[in-house]
């Protein structure tokens, strides 16, 4: 009986000279079957899209210098460059508004409001050290058109589905984009133990083997009940 | 008019509160303790080359976590001063050894630190390295090495330098310990 299996696939370090779908085809095609879901690390998708910036290239505004001070220091937005990158992507007044509302929300015990209001980039930006060399000295933005990338992977590889995921060792998994028919929350749950590993640039692809078979079996069991 | 004055007063109070918050929060503050470094020792030697290394501790004595984005040694031995050797130097974290002279950016939590290993290789331009370094000693040539490090924390990135001196006495002592230098009379 087919069981879910997570199979990480190693690649060389990918850069903006690479096409992520071409690379998945090159390194993982032979391991991918019609019942499988291909997941790929969002930071690597972003890197292949050239969504990388050096701190030295930012023009930091006064507001970024102030607002970063109110983010706990483990977060990517706690540096002036993380905050500035968010302001560049989402607009500084939106970020200010989100910060003020987020602070009031926190006072009444509701966490995460800032990240809900500040735009999708807020949760996806990786500050320096967030990725492996040679990108460890850069900020990496979230990927563009993650759903479209997932659809393209599915179409090219003939798999059951594909997803772009942001997973870390702190038991945080977020599916940023997925092909149609996949449940992002279910995928996030499957990936929660970070099968990409610490150095997700080395193994940026994880094949979720037998996903469709297991899903069909579960549905059959439910329908029998 | 009263409303305007009230708004201005509230704005001033808020600005002062934010300024006090930031001042109290502080920032990372790195120090490479070059004065407490270990003595250079010879770690490899051939007829033409001699490689030395030492360890330098660093600490983030600030109140915030900070990131060392890049760090490298800059040796200063101009040919006008001594023209018998070529010098190469590199630096790596003691906890993340690598030989490619690439310094991987690392977060250093507040109140903690680490150690870097500075490696210096002398290559004799002509003849052997033993004679070249003996001449360096005879001419009493010391070589400054700047540890150049780029920091990013709560404030924008900056570059600092910490200077240490690799003295000819130290080089001679290391070569003697290795048994390859001429002893002083």
pLDDT tens readout for residues B71-107: 999 999 999 999 999 999 999 999 989 989 999 999 9
Residue A140: both structure tokens together: 């990496």
ipTM score assigned to the predicted complex: 0.83
Contacts with A80 from chain B: Cβ below 8 Å: 152, 154-156
A182 and A74 inside one domain: no
Structural domain count of chain A: 2
Residues A12 and A123 in one domain: no
The shortest C-alpha distance from A77 to chain B (Å) reads 10
Yes or no: domain B27-177 corresponds to CATH 1.10.3470 = no
For residue A140, give the 3-state DSSP assignment: strand
Q: Which domain holds residue A196?
A: 5-50+146-224
pLDDT confidence of residue A200:
52
Could you tell me if A100 and A165 lie in one domain? no
Kindly state whether residues A12 and A89 are assigned to the same domain: no
Looking at the fold, whether A62 and A118 belong to one and the same domain comes out as yes
The answer to whether the Cβ–Cβ distance between B155 and A65 falls below 8 Å is: yes
Task: Please identify, among A139, A156, A177, the residue that sits at the C-terminal boundary of a domain.
Answer: A139
Same domain, A94 and A170: no
Q: Which of A139, A165, A199 is the last residue of a domain?
A: A139
Q: Are both A200 and A129 inside the same structural domain? A: no
Question: Parallel, antiparallel, or unpaired for β B158-166 and B113-124?
Answer: unpaired
Give the tens place of pLDDT for each residue, B124-144: 999 999 999 999 999 999 999
Query: Do A35 and A75 lie in a common domain?
Result: no
A216 Cα to chain B: minimum distance (Å): 45
**Residues A114, A171 within the same domain:** no
Q: Does the distance separating the beta carbons of A128 and B69 come in below 8 Å?
A: yes
Same domain, A124 and A184: no
CATH of the domain at A166: 3.30.1330.100
Angle, alpha carbons A213-A216-A221 (nearest 5°): 125
**End-to-end CA gap in chain B:** 90
How far is the alpha carbon of A75 from chain B, nearest alpha carbon, in Å?
A: 11
Structure tokens at A74: 């483990």
The residue from A139, A157, A183 where one domain ends is A139
> What pLDDT score does A164 carry?
95
Q: Both A134 and A109 in a single domain?
A: yes
When pLDDT is averaged across residues A11-30 and rounded to a whole number, the result is: 94
Indicate if the pLDDT at residue B21 is higher than 80: yes
């Amino acid at each position: 009986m087919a069981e879910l299996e997570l199979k990480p696939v190693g690649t060389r370090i990918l850069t903006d000279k690479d096409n992520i779908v071409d690379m998945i085809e090159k390194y993982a095609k032979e391991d991918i079957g019609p019942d499988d879901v291909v997941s790929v690390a969002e930071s690597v998708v972003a890197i292949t899209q050239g969504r990388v910036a050096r701190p030295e290239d930012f023009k930091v505004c006064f507001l970024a210098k102030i607002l970063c001070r109110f983010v706990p220091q483990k977060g990517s937005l706690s540096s002036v460059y993380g905050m500035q990158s968010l302001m560049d992507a989402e607009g500084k007044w939106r970020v200010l508004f989100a910060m003020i509302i987020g602070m009031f929300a926190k006072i009444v015990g509701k966490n995460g409001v800032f990240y809900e209001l500040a735009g999708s980039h807020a949760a996806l930006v990786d500050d320096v050290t967030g990725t492996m060399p040679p990108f460890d000295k850069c900020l990496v933005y979230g990927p563009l058109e993650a759903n479209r990338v997932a659809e393209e992977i599915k179409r090219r590889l003939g798999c059951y589905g594909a997803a772009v995921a942001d997973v870390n060792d702190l038991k945080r998994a977020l599916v940023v984009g997925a092909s149609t028919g996949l449940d992002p929350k279910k995928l996030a749950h499957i990936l929660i133990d970070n099968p990409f590993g610490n150095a997700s640039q080395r193994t940026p692809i994880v094949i979720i083997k037998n996903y469709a078979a297991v899903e069909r079996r579960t549905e059959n069991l439910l329908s029998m009940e | 008019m009263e409303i305007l004055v009230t708004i201005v007063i509230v704005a001033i109070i808020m600005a002062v509160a934010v300024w006090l918050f930031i001042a109290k929060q502080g920032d990372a503050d790195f120090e490479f303790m070059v004065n407490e470094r270990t003595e250079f020792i010879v770690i490899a030697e051939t007829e033409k080359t001699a490689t030395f290394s030492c360890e330098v501790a660093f600490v983030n004595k600030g109140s915030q976590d900070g990131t060392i984005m890049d760090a490298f040694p800059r040796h200063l031995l101009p040919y006008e001063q001594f023209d018998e050797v070529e010098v190469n130097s590199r630096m790596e974290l003691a906890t993340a050894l690598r030989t490619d002279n690439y310094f991987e950016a690392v977060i250093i939590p507040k109140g903690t630190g680490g150690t870097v290993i500075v490696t210096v290789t002398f290559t004799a331009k002509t003849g052997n390295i033993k004679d070249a370094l003996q001449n360096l000693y005879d001419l009493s040539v010391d070589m400054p090495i700047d540890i150049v490090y780029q920091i990013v924390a709560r404030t924008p990135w900056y570059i600092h330098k910490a200077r240490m001196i690799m003295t000819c006495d130290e080089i001679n002592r290391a070569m003697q310990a290795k048994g390859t230098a001429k002893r002083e009379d």
